A and B are shown apart, each in its own frame.
Chain A
């Protein structure tokens, strides 16, 4: 009886998982939310770029590839950068996207400039089926996500809830739950030689102007900062004397970092890690930077004392995101920093 039950359970799971695997094999582009257009563009033109930016909205709104390339050219280095950053992504999602690109074995990509931030998986929500980046919930990420959940959540309840969502989202992604109609659409379009649905043409090398996005929360924060800049100035003043806040929990997951770093290097891509400047938030894993700097190029730009130029309020739209002028400045500034770091590193 037991053996029979076990056999049937295995057969059921076999049917389920093999069908899911077949569905996954039909997926022409496994990035389907608003990541899609930039990922599709970068993936389909892998040979025309040599530098990719991976990050969250801070990079998405803050880095203009053409400005970066121009400054690099002025400094005597030719680059062709593309910004694959996506608003709302967390470090685990960024890591997954970078690893996916590494798995495509791009022959021309030499550098990946990656936003360095807390390994907060950000598993929140009430719907087990949806998350802002469900496709970044892969099996290779799952152990690291669970590890980060343990690191960043003090209570059993919070850990259990977030672990439940991490497991659900991974299952949803792996089983392609709810993706059937999209898969059919993508497949139909691919047979006609057309790009997948939602892969709109990309402009400005993947950079987005924060004003064009106009999220209500961002707009409200912008208005509040313009109306009353004092709280922001106070934070900056504090950071000029002491660039850390009391760290409640460790925001650093070394194993997850290693996985991403190894995957990129194995694909012949040199990662350059950057902590982007922030007016309001703080990178909780700052303590890990000295150790990381021994293993990789780390540009710690979230330091108003070392990089005061980046913290001028006129460059900022709100406390997290730079405006158009800020993006231009930051792109050129980053190019200089990268150039210097590359020149300094041992060959």
Chain B
């Protein structure tokens, strides 16, 4: 059940109606919890035990940490228990096969006989998100930044809250749990704002990302057959696709949460307008980047040591950040590229100061970010290398050409329409950046805004492709 299909619409309409018709806050929370568990169980009910178990361990650990701290101890053992359980779960389900496979390859390379070590483990949906969310809670309690929550049902709702359950944002306990304490009021919900957020996410995902995926898929499938220009088009298309796909999901999650009276954290802030790679990570997947900063980079020592110590921490953080995205060496390389770029940028700033030409800085940043996406998306290292050579030196591995315009309507619908789709994205960006939508809303009567939403919804539905694609970040 994904946000862009009618089953979700039916599910959400029911949740919305019942949620707001319940008067008792506790009853509402229990209802939301039941719905969230149903939502997760809809993906694969076998993993319900996993997510509830994860929440239970962290809830107990946090309680024990608090009790230990009341006795004047630190409660380190319980914090460690929580981390070992969460990371162990993540490692087993997400990385066991990857490491077993890599170990097998290494041993085979050394000439040693090895049988297949992989277990073919099914990856539970959203595992990277809910384990990180749960871990941040126990660490915050351990660090004394957060009070341990008293009610398990509240904590379980925080972990399983369905709008953000499968692909984030990675909500912090400190940002969410306090919202559960007070009764939400429908009158305080800015429905236009929430619906607008959901609609903009829907357009990004269902219209732009799914449509523009076509040219990217064609070239990434066999890059050696295409010329350099086509590879450039494919890389740009993929950059747009992944941004629209993921930020679209986040927008829909935030909009859905708002409609239920809950505020989720912002996850994107015009990342492709970043003036440096450091700036990029202040704008891309904010909930993960701040998580990595607060719980990994700072724990490693952050920038409290020398230059090389800081660089080491940056590299380690980005390598692990890359691995978080997926169990594959391509993600590690992607993380390494970003880590290296961050180190280079830090050195540059130390030596030459910040750039005086923001437009040039933006272009250079975008060029590096897009180059890194090649490793994120390509299926093999050879393909990545082929595409990287085309990206860096405009070296054409093949002769096939992706045309941006063709008199043949069939070709036009694939590539030309994809390029045209950048226009609504650009309009959305500019409107949000300039806060035009807020200005318009101030000028327009409420009834007109609602009517306009209906018109936009119909047009978005008409222009979404008939082959819905799963959200890219669901696999993580």
Instruction: Compute how far the CA of A179 lies from the CA of B447 in the bound complex, rounded to whole angstroms.
Output: 28
**Cβ of B463 and Cβ of A15 under 8 Å apart?**
no
CB nearest neighbor in A for B408: A197
B6 touches A16 (CB 8 A): no
Q: Which of B430-476 contact A (CB under 8 A)?
A: 446-447, 450-455, 457-459, 461-468
Contact of A180 among B7, B457, B459 (CB under 8 A): B459
A192 to chain B, nearest CB (A): 11
Q: Is the CB of A181 within 8 A of B451?
A: no
Decide: A15 near B5, CB < 8 A? Known: A8-B191, A8-B450, A129-B468: no
Measured between C-beta atoms, what is the minimum distance from B469 to chain A in Å?
11
Residues of B within 8 A of A168 (CB): 6
Q: Mark A1-34, 1 if CB is under 8 A from B, else 0.
A: 1000001100111111111100100000000000
Interface string of B408-430 (1 = CB under 8 A from A): 01101100010000000000000
Whether the Cβ atoms of B461 and A13 lie closer than 8 Å is no
Q: How many residues of A contact B (CB 8 A)?
A: 34
Question: A14: which B residues are within 8 A, CB to CB?
Answer: 451, 454
Q: A127-B468, A189-B409 are in contact. Are A15 and B458 (CB under 8 A)?
A: yes
In the bound assembly, the distance between CA atoms of A127 and B468 in angstroms comes to 8
Contact of B463 among A17, A127, A181, A189 (CB under 8 A): A181
With both chains docked as a complex, state the minimum distance between the C-beta of B215 and any C-beta of chain A, in angstroms. 14
Which residues of B36-66 have CB atoms within 8 Å of chain A's CB atoms?
none
- Nearest Cβ on chain B to A84's Cβ, whole angstroms: 24
The residue of chain B having its C-beta at the shortest distance from the C-beta of A185 within the complex is B409
Q: Which residues of B contact A222 (CB under 8 A)?
A: none
The secondary-structure label for the interface of chain B is: helix
Judge whether A16 and B413 touch: CB under 8 Å: no
Q: Could you tell me if B458 and A197 are in contact, using CB atoms closer than 8 angstroms?
A: no
CB distance from A266 to the nearest CB of B (A): 32
| Contact among B187, B417, B458 with A23 in the assembled complex (CB-CB below 8 Å) | B458
Contact status A197-B409, CB under 8 Å: yes
Cα–Cα distance between A18 and B463 once the two chains are bound (Å): 16
- Whether A128 is near chain B, meaning CB under 8 Å from some CB there, is yes
A8-B191, A15-B450 as given contacts; A179 in contact with B462, CB under 8 Å? yes
Pair A180/B187 contact, Cβ less than 8 Å: no
Query: In whole angstroms, what is the CA distance A24 to B187 when docked?
Result: 37
Q: Which partner residue on chain A sits nearest B462 by CB separation?
A: A180
A177 at the interface (CB under 8 A from B): yes
Residue from A13, A130, A164, A175 in contact with B466 in the complex, judged by beta carbons closer than 8 Å: A130
Besides the contacts A12-B454, A19-B455, what 14 more A-B pairs have beta carbons closer than 8 Å?
Answer: A7-B447, A12-B453, A14-B451, A15-B450, A16-B458, A18-B455, A19-B458, A127-B468, A130-B466, A177-B466, A178-B463, A181-B417, A182-B413, A185-B412
Question: Chain A interface (Cβ within 8 Å of chain B)?
Answer: 1, 7-8, 11-20, 23, 127-130, 164, 168, 171, 175-183, 185, 188-189, 197
